[in-house]
Amino acid sequence: MRRAVCPGSFDPIHNGHLEVIARASGLFDEVIVAVSTNYAKRYRFTLEERLGMARQTLASLKGIVVEPMGEGLLAEYCHDRGASAIVKGLRSSSDFDYELPMATMNRHLTGVETVFLPGEGHYVHLSSTIIKEVASLGGDISDFVPKAVLRAMSQEQSDAAG
Ligand code: PNS
């Protein structure tokens, strides 16, 4: 069984993530979407909410499992689950510059390889951060996020409006 891990904060998951996860599932028998927790980070959504949105969105796809990654090393997490690869999408050369040392470190730590997939053109401008900013300023994000995320973000906006 060829297993890969797609790690991330997924705060929230968006269409750029989904496109990479779907392509990864064509390359591996099983893809674990590993939702991270980093106590140094301030997330918009709780871990349970981030897991819930990813699970609802990916429920119909075969061979994809969504689970919490915990706060430890990604390389150890992959090793513990028998995953031979980490899959990451690359939107730009700056993504590559950021990812390369981590990929090399992860391989040194446990031998896990990193597979980079070039991002699809119409999603390369997406990040969870930019989507949250556009939404918070009243912009339309419906082209960029799955329905479960759109619902959660609209709910948040209306709660904030009181
Ligand atoms: O979506 P994000 O926030 O960019 O995801 C970052 C993630 C989870 C991939 C990254 O923070 C990570 O790899 N965390 C695990 C901690 C770890 O292994 N650190 C050493 C990297 S060499």
Q: Residue 120's pLDDT is what? A: 85
128 among known catalytic residues: yes
Q: Residue 102's pLDDT is what? A: 98
Q: Residue 115's pLDDT is what? A: 98
Domain locations in the chain as residue ranges: 3-161
9 among known catalytic residues: no
Which bin fits 115, alpha (ψ -120 to 50), beta or left (φ > 0)?
A: beta
17 among known catalytic residues: yes
Which bin fits 10, alpha (ψ -120 to 50), beta or left (φ > 0)?
A: left
Which position among 14, 23, 50, 91 bears the catalytic label?
Answer: 91
Which position among 41, 62, 94, 158 bears the catalytic label?
Answer: 41
**Span from the CA of 8 to the centroid of ligand 1 (angstroms):** 7
Q: Residue 133's pLDDT is what? A: 96
**pTM of the model as a whole:** 0.95
Q: Residue 122's pLDDT is what? A: 86
Mean pLDDT, contiguous 10-residue spans, the chain (162 residues): 97 97 97 95 96 97 96 97 98 96 98 96 93 95 96 82 70
Is 102's C-beta closer than 6 angstroms to any atom of ligand 1?
Answer: yes
Q: Residue 121's pLDDT is what? A: 83
Contact at 8 Å (CB) between 32 and 76? no
* Angle of the 47-58 helix axis to the 15-27 helix axis, nearest 10: 60
Ligand 1 pocket test: pick from 102, 106, 127 the residue with the most ligand atoms within 8 Å of its Cβ: 102
Which residue's alpha carbon is nearest to atom 20 within ligand 1?
Answer: 73
CATH value of 3-161 in 3.40.50.620, 3.40.50.300, 1.10.150.120, 3.40.640.10: 3.40.50.620
Q: Residue 32's pLDDT is what? A: 98
108 among known catalytic residues: no
Is 7's C-beta closer than 6 angstroms to any atom of ligand 1?
Answer: yes
- Rounded to whole angstroms, the Cα distance separating 152 from 148 reads 6
- Rounded to whole angstroms, the Cα distance separating 159 from 74 reads 35
Is 8's C-beta closer than 6 angstroms to any atom of ligand 1?
Answer: yes
Q: Residue 160's pLDDT is what? A: 74
